[in-house]
Structure 1
């Protein structure tokens, strides 16, 4: 049983009998972070066209270290075909509070979270002829960022909920640099490059007005100032949000929110009843990008654990048949070898390596996903694996799960399946988001862990449903099979972009390593650009409680560097980003129990890094070091393995080859 304690307090309807530190009760209400460095302020911007009664457009702004990072930006909801709620309002009250998010997490980058915050609930009422609609904006200020959401209480003026959009803006004070995931539309797998742009270029390409639809998360850097991230949390009952720069101008430095429209009625994003709250809009703010990675805002803002018994949920590494095209022990590959006998070989490999899982990929099921198509006998494979202390995950097509979830999940539980890899979700409208929650809840009822692929990036769901272990939503290793889109450059961007949102199933572990010039994309016996030491480092740099060990058993046989993949854990008690910059390099240290692990990786630039080991704390350690060989620039498979005695006073020198890396295990000396 995982102990989960949430010490937060209700925001709405709470009477304040005394002032609280960090809260302003002025006519322009504001809330500040516990350390006083972040301040979010609310105001109404009058407009002559809206009358002379003091009403106007609801706005907010944000400062960090006393300097503006978000200028006055609009807040509001589009309901039915009326004037947006927030366009013509007065602030009629504000209620303040403070609290602590204190809870345990089982399978993430930390095992325990203790985050304090100040909060504010700002009530606005509509003026004019709209029938007196009202809305509350709930806001929280943490030391690591601010968050806000819209709350619509039950009211006669809004008999039912029909949200067509949001009027939420983020007007940045400068032409910030942004690393953005530009997507082709509202249905995608979130699998593309994070590309560096200035905000103004996102609204004006080639001298003409243009727009990008941008998925979450987004990383931004204010010139000479703050690093920021845009994300969302607690999407239950809502559709997902995207951002775009709508200005069409080379002087436009802003984002506005776009909600994913419903498939059955694209005029609306959210349909339902009142009371209702939107998802949280989350703005992480820090002096360095690594502090954004370390923050826990999404789980802070998500509901606590709903799974009473979690004793059956276990992280761990897995062998995998798909990336290597079902290659068997004789070196033959292809669909012809997608058989029960070949899959048993992957079970044998997992057992010999001490991995708890084998991931069986697509091709086993008939259209009725409670039936097999005759190629792989799932119950027989599960029974075979159980004798070797290995459990089996199975792949499923999302639309089949949508159609047959209630019939299929009890069957999988009866078969003894450990978990489900659900692929090609490719939607995040209101019903699509509900699908994630339905799978998580029904999966928990039938003791099934979940790995979502072809999907939206995480938003904190794993706190409420810890059986949701990971998500893809990334341009992963699989792209080596057909092209050149996966490279050390993209891998060095992901720690500061995609990884902000949570667990990332990138599927590392390639041991056929190639230089940029020597790489050849191929479906069978695939390669990966960059060094073998970088592939080892990814198991520390990337957070994922159920990572694949993706290459063939034959490629690992007799390779000394494989020992690190056997040793490295998959969940962490602490995470510290030691250094790095998006698209350049990343060095991350993580603790599991009394051992520490370090992963460092670079783009195509060779670099020498000085890494102080202050994170180790007291005591002496033996560092088991896996690093690029001296000739790894031309022979990327070469790894040097050595040991060194170290303490917290030690500064290690890491020499990374082009596309290289280093992976280190720190074991306390007895």
Structure 2
């Protein structure tokens, strides 16, 4: 090469080096450690904004760009300069209205807030993970065209996720183990997504304080890892019927919202062992505080539910079905067993009109009858009909003395429908009505902000046994490490007809569950829901006095939780305290399993243990179980023998 030809290359190299040096000078790094020092966030601000996460010195997320593109072409997160930084340490606690893990939630984190002009980037490092969000001070309103939320997972990894191909979703997946790059070509992961780093910790990605915005999903990211994907705003809709409202045209933006607000938190939970995830309460802690000053009327409890069992009753003198006689029977059953609520599910009103009761139903009379026996009524409704008749319907429910509503079939989490959840919660609270969302997206903190919202479905739960065989024991022991990380989960347990897989049949009118009887009983400890269903028929429960002894005793709220053992998709062993009593639940997948229950969590002295365990023939007959009582102490270690698809349930009292 001649000197003349070489000179331009030297000039180009010099220019490149100069640009690199200038870029490096423009970029600045900021670090934030968790209170215990195990989790570290490194933020780089310059031509772009990115964050990286390390756990015990090992990279968990590599540099992951984040940005927010607004209408008009402005992008927050590019060509940024830090105007100021603010740090704080918080060592506080929160007391939930309806505690599902503990009476006190630790509010313990270190925070870094970077002022970038008319917007901030706020980051928090917890001992259990990290979170970040954008905080806007731009003006009265903004239109968010897109959000770049990336998670550049470090090294080889495998995800355990529910997958969908549309934004019209009940959030009811069966979970699959997949490589991250398979989440492409129209396939996206529902949150929370659990990711195992090869030879390293587990991380779970989800969100909190989702309000006036679109919900987040995850897809494969160019260059590796995952990126957020969001449903665009609905411009046109079409109602197929009284419940399915489909979006026929979407905008090219995902949210029009206040320009003076904080956007949702992006959360990365981190755990060395799967069982540590069972104690993670970051979603609740990061949610907006309660907007209710008086919560004394909010009464969680168990519910006798009609729809799963198809209102099947035996030995009665009336035709069982959607009628007053049947619901009085449900009320009598609930009263006898200390169950504070029953639900009137689909059929009590003329579909499409909440103000017209079905023939044979007199809700005010049922409410009065229930009140005489200290049993409240919760009414089911489709979301679309409730939306149309919101104030007159809720006013009517309040006048009748109804205690709550079960709102079904939203199936979306675009901005409009997310706002619907908040509107219903607010209007229900104004009338002292509890709320249970079905056909719902995953929880994202709403139950803290509006604590009358007690639970959410958003799970492939027991009802699916009426038409499919994929609600397996393996699925059931996956849920605590995935879906339940987001918040309360209305799985609706309690089937009394139980079968091993080869004997299972999906029968709509007389449904059963896959797995053993005690697998179902243990769910009342393992699965968190302040409004917990008894899904089977009163007739089935009345034939099972030993099972009902457990179902009467087990609480729905917990003062303390100990995660004793567990692995996603394998097994789970939890101990929970309510007052002075402890309850233990163990569940296994389709493999028989022996677990050791170390009773050191008990206090000093002797304890009476009431235990329900798989029977010796439970591997053939899922309904076989054994009930025993014995005296134990904190120094004891018990061997729990679980059948395939089995479980163990125990109550410890002085």
User: Quick check: TM above 0.5?
Assistant: yes
- Quick one: distance in 1 between partners of 2:114 and 2:386? 41
Please give the secondary structure, in 1, of the residue aligned with 2:356: coil
Counterpart check, 1:80 vs 2:78:
no
What is the CA deviation profile of residues 449-504 of structure 1, one whole-angstrom value per residue up to 9, with x for unaligned ones? 00000001111211121111100000010111111121111101001001111111
Would you say the 8 A contact 2:284–2:487 is kept in 1?
Answer: no
Among 160, 172, 181, the residue aligned to 2:162: 181
Q: Is the 8 A contact 2:182 2:220 kept in 1?
A: no
User: How many pairs are equivalent?
Assistant: 611
Determine the C-alpha separation between the residues in 2 that align with 1:201 and 1:237.
30
Tell me the equivalent position of 1:338. Answer: 322
Counterparts of 1:85-484 in structure 2, within 5 Å, are: 85-107=76-98, 108-124=100-116, 134-154=118-138, 160-203=141-184, 210-247=185-222, 253-264=224-235, 265-330=250-315, 337-366=321-350, 367-484=352-469
| TM-score normalised according to structure 1 size | 0.89
Alignment of 1:509-658 (within 5 A): 509-559=494-544, 560-658=546-644
Evaluate the alpha carbon distance shift between residue 332 and residue 603 of structure 1 in structure 2; reply closer, same or farther with a 3 A threshold: farther
CA distance in 2: counterparts of 1:96 and 1:149, whole angstroms? 15
Show structure 1 runs of 5+ residues with no match.
1-25, 45-54, 126-133, 204-209
**Within 1, Cα distance between the matches of 2:200 and 2:224?**
16
Taking structure 2 as the reference length, the TM-score comes to 0.91
CA contact (8 A) 1:29 1:94 kept: no
Q: Structure 2 CA distance, aligned partners of 1:546 and 1:32?
A: 37
**1:57 corresponds to which residue?**
48
SS of the equivalent of 1:321 reads: coil
Q: Distance in 1 between matches of 2:584 and 2:506?
A: 30
Moved over 6 A (4+): 331-334
Deviates more, 1:524-533 or 1:365-374: 365-374
Q: Deviations over 1:211-231 (max 9, x none)?
A: 521111111111111111111
Check the 8 A contact 1:91/1:122 in 2, yes or no. yes
Distance 2:465 2:105 in 1: 37
Q: Which moved more, 1:182-191 or 1:116-125?
A: 116-125
Secondary structure of the 2:354 match is coil
Structure 1 pair 520/333, CA: closer, same or farther in 2 (3 Å)? farther
2:212 counterpart SS class = coil
Secondary structure (helix, strand or coil) at the match of 1:455 reads: coil
Structure 1 contact 184–213 (Cα < 8 Å) conserved = yes
Q: Is the 8 A contact 1:293 1:577 kept in 2?
A: yes
Tell which deviates more after alignment, 88-97 or 421-430. 88-97
The superposition leaves residues 233-287 of structure 1 with CA deviations (integer Å, 9 ceiling, x where unpaired) of: 111222211111133xxxx531111122111252111102311321000111121
Cα distance in 2 for partners of 1:315, 1:140 equals: 31
Secondary structure in 2 aligned to 1:167? strand
Contact 1:174 1:253 in 2 (8 A): no
Give ranges in structure 2 of 5+ residues lacking alignment.
Answer: 1-26, 236-249
Give the distance between the partners of 2:290 and 2:574, measured in 1 at CA.
Answer: 28
Deviating more after overlay: 437-446 vs 364-373: 364-373
